[in-house]
Chain A
Amino acid sequence: MPDEQRSGATRDRTDNANGTLAVYVWRGDGTGGREQRFDVPRQESQTVLDIVTWIQQQADASLTYRFACRVGMCGSCAMMVNDEPRWTCRTHVERVARNGELHIAPLRNLPVIKDLVTDMDPFFDKWVKAEAIHHPSAGRDDEFAAVTPDDPERIEASAGIECINCAICYAACDTVAGNPDYLGPAALQRAWTLYNDSRDDGGDAILDAVSRSGGCHSCHSMGSCSHYCPNDLDPMGAIAGLKRATAKRFFGGGRG
């Protein structure tokens, strides 16, 4: 789904390729901060990451932000853009600017280190808490596992493997905002992916982990994760799968 359609935003007509954009960037650290205005020249096909890079290179070298691949693969550059979490390298300014303005802030639901850089430790720690780690079912001397693409479980697993760990779903999640213990959509989706991977031997460990306080049952199915996922993945559907699997096991059934 295109960004424009996803956000309901309309193409900003008030700025143009020859003008400037009023960009308000959140500056500060873990103790607090405030927005600072920069007037940034507009260019054709300019991305939000281009804007931040221009500020850092041309206006204020002390601006701190994070990026790597610039092509939507590494998941490093996610920020809040006009109060919505977005991958900034693939977000065109003309689709998100409103009235010639742009507000850029660090990702929601994560501690700020400095300016636009958040501490991702809580996000990745929760992947481990959710048992979203590989549990080997074979050793190096065993035959390669045959993976059948059209197997129903493999289809479930394949649905989530394109996650780039950008934490946009985590920033979008109101349940994370209300419950800091909640594991979050990305970790739970990864757990569901591994649960359905025939090469993973940790099915029960995964269901135990996601059944604890802050696990999949804390999800209210509000769907912000699936709405904002830049790769069009469906973490809410994955979490629903975990709920079904844990419920089935609760009643003594086998794999859900």
Chain B
Amino acid sequence: MLELRLYMAQRITALIMAPLVIGHIAVMIYAVQGGLSAGEILGRTQGSMSWALFYGSFVVAVSIHGAIGVRTVLSEWAGLRGGVLNGVCLALCALLLVMGGRAVLAVTMI
């Protein structure tokens, strides 16, 4: 039942991402209105557990959601199957987790 689990994982991560995307865009719009500098933004995010959880969960959801979507594209358009397909999907998920995780750590850790 791998297909069903992947289907459910992609839908659940989409549900998680929906409010996070809205929050992310809202913060970006808010942040640029007053002309905040990078230093001022980092001053608010560094050491903040709330921002770490917000963007940390965002990164996890995106990594799972995106990797499953690319898995479907590779299956239908490139004809990948079985272990190769799952391997590429897992590698992409890991890559997104590492890159996104590093970014979250960089802006939230003191």
Contact = CB atoms under 8 A, between A and B. Distances in A.
A175 B1 CA distance: 20
Interface stretch (A74-82, A129-137, A208-216): A208-216
A15 to B, nearest CB: 39
Task: Say whether chain B's binding surface is mostly helix, strand, loop, or mixed.
Answer: helix
Contacts of B6: 217
Contact of A179 (B4, B11, B76): B76
B76 A215 contact: no
A165 interface: no
Interface string B1-14: 11110111001000
A175 B3 contact: no
Given A217-B7, A247-B8, A211 B1 contact: yes
Contacts of A250: 4, 8
A226 interface: no
A218 interface: yes
Interface in B49-103: 72, 75-77
Contacts of A178: 76-77
B76 A246 contact: no
Given A247-B8, A250-B8, A217 B75 contact: no
Nearest to A207: B4
B8 A175 contact: no
B88 to A, nearest CB: 16
Contacts of A243: 7
Nearest to A214: B3
Nearest to A180: B79
Residue from the set B4, B6, B72, B76 with the largest chain A CB neighbour count within 10 Å: B4
Task: Say whether chain A's binding surface is mostly helix, strand, loop, or mixed.
Answer: helix
Contact of A175 (B2, B7, B76): B76
B76 A217 contact: no
A23 B11 CA distance: 48
B77 A246 contact: no
A116 B66 CA distance: 41
Contacts of B8: 247, 250
A212 B3 contact: yes
A217 B4 contact: yes
Interface in A183-240: 208, 211-215, 217-218
B77 to A, nearest CB: 7
B69 to A, nearest CB: 11
Contacts of A211: 1, 3-4
Nearest to B1: A211
Contacts of A175: 76
B76 A213 contact: no
Contacts of B4: 211, 215, 217, 246, 250
Given A213-B2, A246-B4, 18 more contacts: A175-B76, A178-B76, A178-B77, A211-B1, A211-B3, A211-B4, A212-B1, A212-B3, A213-B3, A214-B3, A215-B3, A215-B4, A217-B6, A217-B7, A218-B3, A243-B7, A247-B8, A250-B4
18 contacts: A178-B76, A178-B77, A179-B75, A179-B76, A208-B1, A211-B1, A211-B3, A212-B1, A213-B3, A215-B3, A215-B4, A217-B3, A217-B6, A243-B7, A246-B4, A247-B11, A250-B4, A250-B8
